[in-house]
Structure 1
Amino acid sequence: MNLLVGAGGWAYFGSLGSGSLESYATAFKFVETNSTYYDYPDLKMVYSWRKRVPQGFEFSVRCHKDIARGLQSGGDVIASTLEKMEPICNTLGANALAVLVPSSVTVEEATLRARLEETVSTFHSNKTTVAVEFRNGKPSPWTVRVLENNDAVHIVDLSREEPAFESGVLYSRLFGKGKENVYEFDDEELKAITEKASAPRYEKSILAFHGVRMYRDAARATAYLNAGEFPKITDYTGLASLGEVMKEDSVFPSSKSQLVEHQGWKLFDITSEKRGRAGDYLSLLPDGNYKSLGEVMTSLQSQAPMEGSSAMTIHAKTQHNS
């Protein structure tokens, strides 16, 4: 089977957010184009994308958001949108066209079903499968049947749900369990996701990460698939690692509740082999306001000492934030 792991776009890839497709393609073998949801790119630009990646690199394409207007209002919008998307998909040799049914689509189920039927039956491409993601509620059995009967795919977030029907293709857009896309997948979650995606019933599985740590999530999933283990997140362990991930964007003074809310979703290295969720440890802080990261680390050291968390190491990593 073919298991593809990547992220939603390459614009923020790289240590400086250089957004180089060539650089992205050295790390991953698949990308879901994000910009096509907002704009119809010139085909010369699309052709350049194809030429800038190695042979064997795969694209999926997000369908332009105009499709939602067609699903809501009808008319010729669906046909005109798909007409513009077809050459993009054909130029890239895209494996899938990802159609989003957003919460703004509020038509009756029978109307939505008919318009989805038009969508999946109108689009024509030799290589590209239509895949549909529902954010307007769980699709009815009758709507699901429309997808199944037209060899379309039900897009899901595997960390939350399973596809509504069996298919030879799995497409998962992964956002996680946080607020919007503010989340980072831990080792156990990535294990579960990759195991599901590796099931023999799938001829092809597509894992497109979309959280704020999407490139790291995708890289860690890839590392696990290749080597059977997860790399460290930081160069440190214990509270020194927690301090490292918090110093990226922590703001002080902050209350305990603010720290849990804004920093709790992050992962850090408890040991070289074990990751922890920041919120599980920040919740152990005494209630109150904290003036610096160093103060947080000192308090945590007394509340929840961890392996790799000597006072000297903590101080060395946090004194410039104090």
Structure 2
Amino acid sequence: MSESNASNQGRKTIYDVPISILDLAPIVVEATAADSFRNTLDLAQHAEKWGYNRYWLAEHHNMPGIASSATSLVIGYVAQGTERIRVGSGGIMLPNHAPLVIAEQFGTLESLYPGRIDLGLGRAPGSDQAASRAIRRGLQSGGEDFPELVDELRSYLEPYSESKAGRVRAIPGEGLNIPIWLLGSSGFSARLAAELGLPFAFASHFAPDYLLPALQLYRENFRPSDVLKEPYAMVGINVIAADTDEEARKLHTSQQQQFLNLIRGRTGKLNRPVLPESMETIWTDYEKSHVEKMLAYSAVGNKATVRDRLSALLDETGADEWIAAGQIYDHQARLRSYEILAEAIKKD
């Protein structure tokens, strides 16, 4: 860890770090996407009341347990139903789309909800190969052209000038101040965000292995820009909080089952929780180790446990902001989890 990072950590406590929500709009067993959207809006409205900084939704396709495939539409739905909280994408998978279309979509959102829209961009497909082919219709991009796509998108959002005469323009979108974030789970987007002077968010809530090297790469190579004078890194975490550690561990088994199904090559709706000891009859030792590795950046427990875990993760990462995901089967338990998290980062 760099000396400057250690110094930065010395100035911050968990009470100083903003926290946001990443909602995967889970569709649970015996429910529908319509139920998921209602729960998403309800959570966003509570999150606004509890003081969360942002509410982001993620683009995924061909996944029966995630409802946020038409991400821009769900962002608009959430923004319409809230008043102050920032709403955005965590993220839009840019290689799936024409940059002009995303500029127009987010220009529309920013025009409708000024000062509240974030545009987080990723380079992964957010889907399997079959879905990627269905989305892209013959486009062969595997993310290698992500820097060019980002540059094109940003050009559509720049103010009009004579140099744009005769060129395609994004209306709405042109000249609007829509914060762009780069998202990633490797060093590629970390380096690009550093070169462009943009904020960076790391997907450590499911891909923790490269988090610390990516943060170091981003911070050491950061170039100040008109957008950002100093590096700003958001760190993804899983938070499953409850009134007792025992209840939180039980709630966590829904997420564990979801990740187990992913490594088995299956997708489905979010399952009911089971007793933690029952997981030993569901997964093998190898599968357990793999799931636990993927979920390493998690805080599972009561308020005190979550607070202690966040403090340890802050010492490790020097995060400028957290973004918390929490795949919990019961909506009321999910609300309570985020309420406890909000309480955990406030001074008693």
Per the normalisation by structure 2, the TM-score is 0.45
Greater helix share, structure number? 2
| Structure of higher CA gyration radius | 1
Higher RCO, 1 vs 2 (CA within 8 Å, ≥6 residues apart): 2
Per the normalisation by structure 1, the TM-score is 0.48
